[in-house]
Amino acid sequence: DTGVSQDPRHKITKRGQNVTFRCDPISEHNRLYWYRQTLGQGPEFLTYFQNEAQLEKSRLLSDRFSAERPKGSFSTLEIQRTEQGDSAMYLCASSLRGDSGANVLTFGAGSRLTVL
Amino acid sequence: AQKVTQAQTEISVVEKEDVTLDCVYETRDTTYYLFWYKQPPSGELVFLIRRNSFDEQNEISGRYSWNFQKSTSSFNFTITASQVVDSAVYFCALSDFQTGANNLFFGTGTRLTVIP
């Protein structure tokens, strides 16, 4: 397994357009997370899935954002009607739920979105 | 509310010098986890260490060491004999015990530059 893969790595779009990012987690990991990172800041939690169920969503995730993980494997994050404030790096991570309850997240390299 | 403060925005050291990255956290939880991640120029966050609040023992891994002091809510990270490859942004993060790393709260990061 080569780790967490994200596609595309870079996306430039015009304001108002829709964009979709894909994340392929480590195959045996049952948890998948989306984070957003803006310049000079640490990553901020957006949402996470356990298998195909979306179990938690941040208040940062506005109605224009939707995430899916239909078969409990890859996930997509769609942003509708993009705004300039959506420009950021979107990070995906995966983990295996352990008995200790404290998961170590393995991150992908991220998808950088620029909204013009 | 959870909060992580990394007061050092940028640090520059000359190769082979030791350097300590500070992390101060706030939480109302009595049990929690602390993490350090490294983000090299490639952008992919790399896990370095996880520590639970029950375990205040310091840890050493090669040139890396961590000092956890619950009394001062600090979890500092020291790199001994720094190398150019250590140049990266380092993030400290916090999660509560119940949800594990479902929602990691990251600090704003410290950019370390090691000068050859």
CA A65 to chain CA centroid, nearest Å: 11
Could you report the per-residue pLDDT of B35-54, keeping only the tens digit for each? 999 999 888 999 999 888 88
Contacts of B100 in chain A (CB under 8 A): 97-98, 100-103
A-chain residues within 8 Å CB-CB of B106? 42-44
pLDDT band at residue B97, thresholds of 50, 70 and 90?
Answer: low
Per-residue pLDDT of chain A (116 residues; tens, 9 = 90+): 579 999 999 999 999 999 999 999 999 898 999 999 999 999 999 999 989 999 888 888 889 999 999 988 999 999 999 999 999 999 999 988 765 556 788 999 999 999 99
What the block records as the tokens of A72 is: 């409990």
Q: For residue A115, what are the contacts with CB-CB under 8 A and spacing of at least 6?
A: A13, A14, A15, A82, A83, A84, A85, A86, A87
- Beta-carbon count within 10 A of A79 CB: 21
∠ Cα B42 B46 B51 (to 5°): 160
Residue A106 to residue B52, Cβ atoms within 8 A: no
Decide if B106 and A44 are in contact by the 8 Å CB cutoff. Answer: yes
Best of B91, B103, B108 to disrupt the A interface (most A CBs within 10 Å) is B103
Q: How far apart are CA B31 and CA A92, in angstroms?
A: 26
